[in-house]
Structure formats: structure tokens, C-alpha cells
Amino acid sequence: MTVTLADVAVRAQVSPATVSRVLNGNYPVAATTRERVLRAVDELDYVLNGPASALAAATSDLVGILVNDIADPFFGIMASAIQGEIGGPGGRAGGERLAVTCNTGGSPERELTYLTLLQRQRAAAVILTGGAVEDAPHAAAVAAKLRKLADAGTRVVLCGRPPAPDTDAVALTFDNRGGGKELTEHLIGLGHRRLGYIAGPEERTTTRHRLEGHRAALAEAGIAEDPRWTVHGRYDRRAGYEATLELLRRDPTLTAVVAANDSVALGACAALRESGLRIPADVSVAGFDDLPFSIDAVPSLTTVRLPLAEAGARAGRIAMGREEPPPGGIATVRGELMVRGSTGVPRA
Amino acid sequence: MTVTLADVAVRAQVSPATVSRVLNGNYPVAATTRERVLRAVDELDYVLNGPASALAAATSDLVGILVNDIADPFFGIMASAIQGEIGGPGGRAGGERLAVTCNTGGSPERELTYLTLLQRQRAAAVILTGGAVEDAPHAAAVAAKLRKLADAGTRVVLCGRPPAPDTDAVALTFDNRGGGKELTEHLIGLGHRRLGYIAGPEERTTTRHRLEGHRAALAEAGIAEDPRWTVHGRYDRRAGYEATLELLRRDPTLTAVVAANDSVALGACAALRESGLRIPADVSVAGFDDLPFSIDAVPSLTTVRLPLAEAGARAGRIAMGREEPPPGGIATVRGELMVRGSTGVPRA
DNA sequence: GACCGTATAGAAAGCGCTTGCTGCGTTGCT
DNA sequence: AGCAACGCAGCAAGCGCTTTCTATACGGTC
């Protein structure tokens, strides 16, 4: 039924061992023999049996990428960059790896299950992207899993995610706190004193860090923060829309709204516009991430650009062992403030 | 070093066969025995060896999803919906499947290579999303691969992709032609007679079908099309921006621009605005797909909504054998015209 | 009490591949 | 010429699991 290595061996008049070695190219095989084997492979249209190969060799060519939300370009862009470096098809011949993206939906259990599935497949590497959930038991469980993966020879890299304690996973962390601070400083510099903040879901590192940056900026400027000025929600436009309405209800005198990310900011803009407020004349709006559509918003969004593609590519290279991990295994990736049309001086 | 089935068997004082049966749950095992085994599994922290299991059982729990561009929400939304149905974690216990997304980047070779990789892994199912490349040799190669996959027991489903001839792959096809026609009819109905069209890359089915719909609408209205009114480009905002400038250069009297998709439309809006033209007062703009950000554009985008999530979910269910394929294996999924602010009557 | 059906567990034969070791024919060196 | 060294190919032993077939033990029946 299916063609096996043995069939190829018979056809090429060599032993299965030789066929295997030709295919893996890590053992001297005479040119003429190799050619004969390759011809047989071609004629029989042979396809290696991955599981069998993985079993015998005790390694596989799977590389897992965990994302919180595959429908969000934030993750899509990183995943795309990672895959580009994993080589999938396109890498050096023979070294083809299957880069697979797993969508956790932000759920801790799913994250763990996927990690187990990947462990079960004896993945060559695993890359976790995006913020982590801040729950001690869960964090410990993930750390344990990562340790086991590492023990089994799987390379583990965190991209855009804080370092995992008690783990020697390489971490490329975004400076969410610094970016958040800079953004709010920009607003304060323009003269804003009453700033609403639409945060992401609680219990997520990204949410907390960005919020901390925001508050640090307020504190440094001597602005007392009103608890009514912060609302939590998901990382999507809908949440931004609703949160903005809520903020406006709580305090109609706000002159600026800082959003957890660009999608949220877009929702905020929609809500403000529908409320009859002009941006930035009446209310300034700022986002985070600088996703591609941000520049097309009207007015275009002031935001913090995160080098998603670059970070992803680097994480991919490290996972493939093609680039040295940063000293200490941890690197901080900084964002860049992009001042655009959605922020301006507050109304008098 | 690593814990194996045999270790668990020893610990639970049963044979490896019994452990396997407990884990797979498809054979009667006494409750007390089962419990003993499960306890041993737990205590030893045993994780099944996927490759070994796949080899012995001649099947795997991998499901592959091929997308053209994972950074594009168009694909992200579909992939997300598919994964939701595949069950990954979250499906029935024990039936966990690893849904993996493979990014072809629109390259035919990569598509083929990923298909081979999936074949090599003996994937349980493969879902191809998005338009196909219209190149006879390549189409034949893909069809051949799909046939082989099907022969090997892999379920093949096409989602948002035209049927593959000589294949019995189930196809859920978007009615791009119908949607394109309806969109242009809407514009013509408003009074437009000089319409620019920013098409996607040539040689892609999606591009051709949408363009055909557009032309059909023009033809029916008796509007002679000027070849200068069509420009090809990639499916991103940058391409839309540049194409629009080119269209304006070629014919400044255009009163409407129809874009290949929403991202392109966003780029078009930016270009028009920078050229000092108002939307829709001076020029109307229309997109396609109705991605989440489209409603937030200013003015919000008139577009054709494609039920991406629904189609993806359905494709996922069919791939998992949880839903009957449509009669004949082919279903057409229609889009819905969403008339919003970016289109209006042409300037006098 | 012998007989049989049923429920449950074990033995063992692979699944298709990789790889350490062995063996042989050849080349290179003295 | 003689010996070591080397290049290349084959043998065979698994890798860790699934599954068919077989064995055992029980309970009930006549």
C-alpha cells in the first residue's frame, strides 16, 4: 500500500540503512549510490514516515508557536516572522521543519494542554508569545512544563513575554512598562491632566506592565489618579468601545484616553465620535503596538511601536540555534513612541 | 530517563497493553485496574510518546491548516474558527488533536512542501484556506498531493478556496464573483460611471473572481471599461496606497475606487486623503471581506462581508467528521453587501 | 458438578525508521 | 610488498507504542 524505506532499498538495490543515510545526509555515501537511491525515491514517490523517523531518532522536526489569539495581527505578525526563520520550507534542504501555530485563546488550560501535546510530539522547539497570565499555580505549572521540555531537549524561547522564573528559557521581553510610561508622558507634556485608561484583562502581565508605566508617569508628574479613570476589558475594539462609553459616563471631563492596544484605541475612537467628541480637539487617544492599520485611522493613531517582526525573527533564530541567546538568557526589547494625529493639546 | 508506557505498567502492576488500553479508552478495563493505572500515570508524570503511538496506530492527531498569510486577519479569523472546532484542547477528552497552522506566504512551493510535511506526519486532516494560485502545473501537483493524502486516510477540506478538480476534497467556496458584482452594482446604482479597480495579485483565483464580478456589473450596465482603470498589487494597504496614486495619475476623473479587500481599501483612503480628495464626496471607496477594522475606518467602509468564522467552523467540523459534507462535496458561501459611509453619489 | 459464555488481562508481533558496529575492498605509506 | 587506515555498505537491534490473539477466572445454567 504505502511505500516504505525498504521498498526504496529494494528498488535501489541497497540496504535500508543506506537509503536512510542518503535521506538524512549525515553519513558518507558514494555519489553513484546516492544517485541510485534518489532515483528510486523519486520513481516510487516515497515520502518518509515522520512518526517512525521521530521514534527511531528520538527527535522530531516540529516547532510549536503558542499564541493567545491568532486572529489578532499582533500575534499573526510575530508568528509570521518566527515561521520565516524556522525555515519550514525554505530553510536549508533536508532540514525542513514544520512550524506550527497553536492558538491558546488566552486560556491557561489550553496553554498547558498544547504544551503537553508538543511535549508528546517531542517538538524540537517551542516558542511562547505574548503576555502570560498572572496566576501563581498556573505559572508554576507552566514553568514545570517548560523545564521538562527543556530536559527532553526541546528549545524553549519566550517572545514578547516576561521571563519564566526557575526556568532557563530564553526570553525576549517587550518593555511594556517603559513604553506605557513614555506614552503617558507625551500626553502629560501636551498638558493633559485628566486621563482615562482602558486596560486589558486583569491578571495578564502585559496589562499590568503597561498600566504601571502609565501610573509611573502620572506619579512623576504629581497627578493624583482617580480610580474611576481606569477600566478593564478585553484586547479588542469592542471592549474599547464599551470602556470608553463607561469612562465618559464616569467622568465627562477627561481630555485623553489611553488604550491598552491599537484595536482598543480604535474602538475608543468610534465611541468618542459617536458621542460627538472630536479627536484630538476634544479628547486625545493613544494606542499601543502600532499595528499596520493604526496609521490609517483618522486621525492616525499616536501609539508605541513594538518591533513585532524583528523580535519574532530573532526568537525564531534563537530557537533554531542560529543565533546566540542574549547574555543571561534575557533581553528587553524597547518600543518606540510614534506621535501622530490622535493626540494634541487638551481643550481649554 | 524518560518515562515510558512500560514504566507505568510496572508501577501499576499490569501489562503495557493494559496501560495503553486505559489511555485510549477503547477496550474494556476493570474500574479498579483503570484507576490504578491512572494513578501510576499521574505519579510518574507520564506523557505519551506521540511518534511511537502514531507509528503503531498508523494515524496521528495532527490537523494541518494552510494559510496564505498568517499576519492577515482574513486568515487569522478563519484559522481561529477552525481550531475552535478541531477541539485541540477543549474537545472531548482523549480526542485531543493538535491543530497546526502553516503559513505558506502565498508561495506555491511552500504550499506543496507543507503538504508533504503534513503527509509525512500522517496528518488526520488538512484544511487549505484562501485563494489558490492559478498555474496549471502547480494546480496539478497540488491535486496529486491531495489525492495521495486522501488515499492515506487524511481528510481534506478547502475553505474559501475553489474546488480542486480531479479530487474529492470537500470545498467551501466563497462567492467572490457574486460579491464583487453586487458591490459594483451598488456603486453603479449610486450613479458612478468611472470606477477604478485595485485588484490583487494576478494568477490568484480570488483576484480573478472578484474582478470578473466587477466587470460583469459594468458590462450589464453598459459601461465600457477603460484598461487604465485596473491596477494589480498585493493584498495589503501599501499596495492599495500606491495603486490609488497610480489610478489618480492615469485618470483624475474617477469617482470611485473598488479595492481587492479591506486592507487595500484602507490604503486607498489614505492616498485619496493625501491627494486632497474627500471620501465619499469626491471619490467613493469600497472594500471586500469586512474585517473588524473596516467599520472603524473614517468614513466606515462599504464592503462585502464574508462569513469567515462561520465558514472556518464549518470546515473544521467537516474535517473532524462531525458534520456532513455538502452534497456533491461543494458548497458556495455567499457574501453580504455592507453599505456604509465610504460610498455615496458621485460629485456632479 | 460439568459446561459454557463473558469479562478482563497478558504475550508477542510488529509499525517504519535510525544507528552502532562489523566487514570488506581499496588506497596510502614505509 | 606489507600493513595500517580509510571509505562505504550492511546487519541487526531497538525506539515506544498498539493490537490481535490467547489465556484465565469468574458466574450462571442444566
* Touching A: B residues 315-344, CB under 8 Å: none
Sorted by sequence, the CB contacts under 8 Å of residue A172 that are 6+ apart come out as A157, A158, A159, A160, A311, A314, A315, A318, A326, A331, A333
Mean pLDDT of B32-58: 94
> Does B60 contact A at CB distance below 8 Å?
yes
Cell matching residue A185: 508622558
Q: Tell whether the model's pLDDT for residue B59 goes beyond 90.
A: no
Cβ of residue A33 lies below 7 Å from strand C: no
pLDDT of residue B297: 86
Measured distance CA(B7)–CA(B16) in Å, rounded: 8
The answer to whether B24 CB sits below 7 Å from nucleic acid chain C is no
Nine-digit cell at B255?
Answer: 469617482
> Residue A12 burial (CB < 10 Å; 0-12/13-18/19+)?
buried
Does residue B91 carry a pLDDT above 60?
no
Which grid coordinates are listed for B107? 508561495
| Nearest nucleotide (CA of A49 to C1') | C16
- Per the structure, the residues numbered 26 to 85 in protein chain B that have their CB within 7 angstroms of any atom of strand C are 28-30, 32-33, 55-56, 58
Q: Is the CB of B53 under 7 A from strand D?
A: yes
The DSSP result for B113-140, as a single string, is: HHHHHHHHTT-SEEEEESPPB--HHHHH
Reported for B320-329, long-range contacts at CB under 8 A and 24+ positions apart, including other chains, are B320/B63, B320/B85, B320/B86, B320/B87, B320/B97, B320/B125, B320/B155, B321/B155, B322/B85, B325/B170, B326/B170, B326/B172, B329/B163, B329/B168, B329/B169, B329/B170, B329/B171
Beta strands A170-174 and A125-129, pairing class? unpaired
**Whether B306 contacts B337, CB under 8 Å:** no
Return d(Cα B192, Cα B187) in angstroms, integer.
Answer: 6
Q: Cβ neighbours of residue B209 under 8 Å, at least 6 residues apart?
A: B162, B176, B177, B180
Instruction: Decide which of B107 and A176 is more confident.
Output: A176
Q: Strand C: which bases are under 7 Å from protein Cβ? A: 7-12, 14-20
Q: Is the pLDDT of residue B86 over 70?
A: yes
Q: Identify the segments of chain A with pLDDT beneath 50.
A: 89-94
How high does pLDDT run on average in chain B?
Answer: 93
Q: Rounded mean pLDDT of B236-263?
A: 96
Q: Does B24 touch chain A (CB under 8 A)?
A: no
The whole-angstrom separation of Cα B290 and Cα B301 is: 8
Assess whether the previous peptide bond of B326 is cis (omega < 30° from 0).
no
Per-residue CB contacts under 7 A with strand C, chain A residues 63-102 = none
B290 residue type, one letter? D
State, as a whole number of angstroms, the distance between the CA of B33 and the C1' of C5. 23
CA of B39 and C1' of C6: distance in angstroms? 28
pLDDT at B28: 84
User: pLDDT: is B184 or A92 the higher one?
Assistant: B184
Q: Which residues of B touch A49 (CB under 8 A)?
A: 55, 120, 122
> What pLDDT is recorded for position B93?
34
Contact predicate A123/A62, CB 8 Å: yes
Asked if A173 contacts A330 with a C-beta cutoff of 8 angstroms, the reply is yes
Q: With a 7 Å cutoff on the CB, does B345 touch strand D?
A: no
Q: Please count the residue pairs, one from chain A and one from chain B, whose beta carbons lie less than 8 angstroms apart.
A: 188
Rg from Cα positions in chain B: 25
Please compute the mean of the pLDDT values over residues B251-279 and round it to a whole number. Answer: 96
- Cβ of residue A58 near strand D, that is under 7 Å? yes
Residue B95 has pLDDT above 80, yes or no: no
Q: pTM here?
A: 0.91
Whether B141 and chain A come into contact, CB under 8 Å, resolves to no
Q: Is the CB of B298 under 7 A from strand D?
A: no
Closest CA to A254 of A264, A239, A243, A262: A243
Q: Which range has the worst mean pLDDT, A85-99, A125-139, B178-192, B242-256? A: A85-99
Looking at residues B42-56, what average pLDDT do you find?
A: 94
Amino acid at A334: R
The Cα of A49 is separated from the nearest Cα of chain B by a number of Å equal to 5
Amino acid (1-letter code) at residue A125: A
Q: Are the Cβ atoms of A269 and B48 closer than 8 angstroms?
A: no
